[in-house]
Structure 1
Amino acid sequence: MATYKKRGYKPNTKEEQQTAVEEQSTTAEVFNTLDEGAGKTEEWVARNQKYIFIIIGVAAAVILGYLAYEEFIQEPKEAEAANEMFVAQQYFETALNSSGAQSDSLYNLALTGAQGKFGFEDIIENYGGTKAGNLSRYYAGMAYLNTNQYQQAIDHLDDFKSDDQILAPLAKGAIGDAFLQLEQPEEALDYYEEAAQMRENNFTTPRFLMKAAVTAIKLGNGAAAEKYLTRIQKEYPDSAEANKVSVYLGQAQAMQ
């Protein structure tokens, strides 16, 4: 059992003296072991310091290189790409408010460019790794969809990546629209379902639930159509699509 010893206490008996000697010996062994461990570590560092400095240098170079790339290359490139995209966006937005041949012509200008300015395809090719390049894939996909070039629309929209609450499901649903135009309703239904589930909001969710319901009716799947329509009715009663539920719900129920 350990006993408390006052500071300055001196052992009197032989047993106490022997114990004190053993404790000192043990303490010395511990410090010797620590010294040996520290010595080995120092030796290892001394032997391998060349490689350690190389590793540290490489890590520092990677970090500094990344920071320099972001500041001196990527950021200016982002600004340049956004500036190039401005004219193409104007063509696209004007096309949305036009119709017929004029609309098609404007979409094509948005895609290919004009007056020495890049179109969306040029921006994708030259600035593909930028945010503007990614957004151009969305615009290009929609332009192709509106000019009846459905496979090109699918290709571009499938490459578009976004976490945006509206754009992400719109792109996914537009792929469904393209497949429907290509007379592939099964694929269209898959994309409508995915678009409806991607983000929960009062705009895109009921929109693609309705498209999924109509497509399910076209495929003869009344039960699935009823499920989509009922969800619109219960969860999105104030949406524009809710006003159409009764029209399609009767069809869906009659098929079962």
Structure 2
Amino acid sequence: MTTTARHEGKTALVTGGSRGIGRAVSHRLAREGALVAVHYGHDRTAAERTVKEIEADGGRAFAVHAELGVPGDADALWADFDRGLAAQDAEAGLDILVNNAGITVPRRIADVTEADYDRVFAVNTRAPFFIIQRGLGRLRDGGRIVNVSSVATRVAYPAIVSYTMTKAALDYLTLALAEELGPRGITVNAVAPGYTETEINPTLAVPEIRRRYSEASVFGRLGDPADIADVVSFVASDDARWVTGQWIDASGGAHLGA
């Protein structure tokens, strides 16, 4: 395993850390020395597989379970996180929080039900809000919060209107928290992927849609989860200590042109 000391001695929590972008982030932070709490909501097998992959690569990780979008989700997550840290004989506390978990509702406004709307906001906006709130006492001074947003908040994309609204709310939370937590040396930034090869977007199985999404990037391809993980790792590091309150486009230049 090739490692750097970028996150050596740090503890990180990645929500939705067992698949897609979250899995890539978990691997990257662990590869650079962090003890990584891999959160999952439903797929325990995927979380355990991610932990085993990290350990096989010489890193340290443990799984954390909490279903998001339900009452008490933040408290359940932190309780399991605390248990996991104790089982690892690790010092209590957290250095890096990556709010990555999210769901999408691929419907235009006319087709979004109240249940759809409530569910996507509960998982994508309410959950990270209270995870951060309940976690502030655990987050060490000089820590990092990274919220995974979306490049869709900067363009008109009616097909996923409710999803994009949740990410726009997360963008504002990023800005407000950067101001509030700055005196503690904590940075708060949003990383915004574009069209990325993950399970959250089943339309990628349609060749025409896949081609169109690939051509949206100036590089002519879909993003890889590792492309996003590299950016997250940077803003979670001391190298980015003077960067806070920022919305960082990690879309491969999607929609730069007319």
Q: Normalised by the size of structure 2, how large is the TM-score?
A: 0.25
Q: Which has the higher contact order (CA 8 A, sep 6+)?
A: 2
Quick check: which has more Rg, 1 or 2? 1
Q: Normalised by the size of structure 1, how large is the TM-score?
A: 0.25
Bigger strand fraction: 2
